[in-house]
Amino acid sequence: MMDKTKGKILDAALKIFAKEGYNSSTTRSIASQSGFSEITLFRKFETKEKLFKEAMSVNHEMLQEKCISLMEDLEKIEDPEEFLKEYIKKMAVFYRENFEFFNIMITEDNVHVDSDMGDFGDVLSEFVSENIDNTCCEVTSIVLVINTFLYTLNLDIFHGINNNGYEDNIKKFTNNMIKCLH
């Protein structure tokens, strides 16, 4: 179990790294965001790089657990259209709740992000392929389109661009994706 100080610093680090990028983020801004001193930050993590790696690792593990739970819920759905509707709906929530992590994964270079974390898209493609008859469509492409759409939609919100119509955009998108099954 992680102590509260470390947890608050990791949460603050994820927010700052997502907003400013690894190179532009400072330990001073992370410490300030967390409510602790920079000295406390360095006592817990020693370096900015170690802080980054732990923030990513902790969040990656947490997201893997959430993803497994999400997939277990979706596996119960037998109808491909219903499966795809629920998949998009659940993934929209998943992206929105964990956007900082996804933003870092997409925007940071491979020097800072562990390549093992990049298997997310492959796991989702394989899972969706198992639950949709892929003779009617190229499932890997559909998953890529879904992930790209949800990332872009949440990127607007992350940058403070008007999020009016968020749910409507997801409904319209879902209806279009359902058409791909026919």
| Run means of pLDDT, 10 residues per run, the chain, 182 residues | 86 95 94 94 94 92 89 90 93 92 82 61 82 73 88 85 83 90 76
Distances (CA, A) of 51 to 56, 111, 129: 9, 15, 36
Give me the CATH number covering residue 112: 1.10.357.10
The number of domains in the chain is 1
Rounded to the nearest angstrom, the gap between the alpha carbon of residue 150 and the centroid of all alpha carbons in its chain is 10
Please list, residue by residue across 113-124, b when 16 or more beta carbons sit within 10 angstroms of its beta carbon and e when fewer do: beeebeebeeeb
| pLDDT value of position 11 | 95
- pLDDT tens digits along 79-95: 988 999 999 999 999 99
| pLDDT value of position 128 | 86
Spell out where 60-150 has E strands: none
| pLDDT value of position 16 | 96
| pLDDT value of position 112 | 56
Number of other CB atoms surrounding residue 83 within 10 Å = 18
- pLDDT tens digits along 27-36: 999 999 999 9
Q: Using CA atoms, how far apart are residues 138 and 123, in angstroms rounded to an integer? A: 15
Q: Using CA atoms, how far apart are residues 67 and 143, in angstroms rounded to an integer? A: 14
Cβ neighbors of 19 (< 8 A, separation 6 or more) are: 100
> CA dihedral defined by 5, 7, 13, 19, rounded to 10 degrees?
-130
| pLDDT value of position 159 | 78
Phi, psi of 45 (to 5 degrees): -125, -10
Return the closest-CA partner of residue 6 out of 47, 34, 28, 39: 34
| pLDDT value of position 141 | 83
| pLDDT value of position 123 | 81
Residue with tokens 């037998």: 78
Q: Using CA atoms, how far apart are residues 37 and 8, in angstroms rounded to an integer? A: 12
- pLDDT tens digits along 63-79: 889 988 999 999 999 89
| pLDDT value of position 135 | 62
The model scores a pTM over 0.85: no
| pLDDT value of position 85 | 94
**What token pair was written down for 113?**
């992000």
The domain in which residue 86 lies consists of 4-179
| pLDDT value of position 34 | 95
Q: Using CA atoms, how far apart are residues 59 and 11, in angstroms rounded to an integer? A: 9
